[in-house]
Chain A
Amino acid sequence: NAGVMQNPRHLVRRRGQEARLRCSPMKGHSHVYWYRQLPEEGLKFMVYLQKENIIDESGMPKERFSAEFPKEGPSILRIQQVVRGDSAAYFCASSNAGQANYEQYFGPGTRLTVT
């Protein structure tokens, strides 16, 4: 009964490199959400995806960030040309429907450090 899986758990990148964060939702879940937790701040919504579709990306920074959830395989959050301000914990959550009262199950997070 695997839960939401994220890898890597820890990722270190130098400024200017690319970061790829992966999220495998719970079995049977087709909705994925990405949240970012910055130091001293709460979690902020970034993007909501369904298989092959971006439903809501209102929380995504306009540049350098992109996300996808292909028909096969995990959801990917991609950060190009990382800067120190991108250092944060990135959490993925999944649900089995898009209705608001359905529980979102969270993964353990990927902690990105930009040096």
Chain B
Amino acid sequence: AQSVTQLGSHVSVSEGALVLLRCNYSSSVPPYLFWYVQYPNQGLQLLLKYTTGATLVKGINGFEAEFKKSETSFHLTKPSAHMSDAAEYFCAVIFSGYSTLTFGKGTMLLVSP
């Protein structure tokens, strides 16, 4: 079955530290890949996406992600965390032949001073 897995429901980092949020998908055909961020009581905002081309994609707010086909992964990173990055992050996928998003369960990023 096709699925999206985010490892770790909560990730805690210190301000200025590296942020690494993990996402793996299960599919024999590479899908389209997205990362969304959700602040409390708000909707989802697209951080970045991979559809074709360069496998390292840069997004807003200093985030980037790398598509690794051999590992079926699309991990999200940011070199230096900021307090304002505290939010919930969702990895989402559009599998081949579909037009709708399949989401992971989300990872809550906590940033401490």
Q: Which A residues lie at the B interface, using CB under 8 A?
A: 4, 31, 33, 35, 41-45, 48, 55-56, 59, 91, 93, 98-101, 103-109, 111
Contacts and interface: CB of A to CB of B under 8 A. Distances in A.
Q: Would you list the 4 A-B pairs with minimal beta carbon distance, nearest first?
A: A101-B51, A42-B105, A106-B43, A106-B44
A33 to B, nearest CB: 6
Interface stretch (B11-19, B74-82, B94-102): B94-102
A33 B101 contact: yes
5 contacts: A93-B44, A101-B49, A106-B44, A106-B45, A108-B43
A101 B103 CA distance: 15
Interface in B60-113: 90, 92, 94, 98-106
Interface size class of B (residues with CB under 8 A): 20 to 34
Contact of B103 (A43, A48, A99, A111): A43
B46 interface: yes
A64 to B, nearest CB: 21
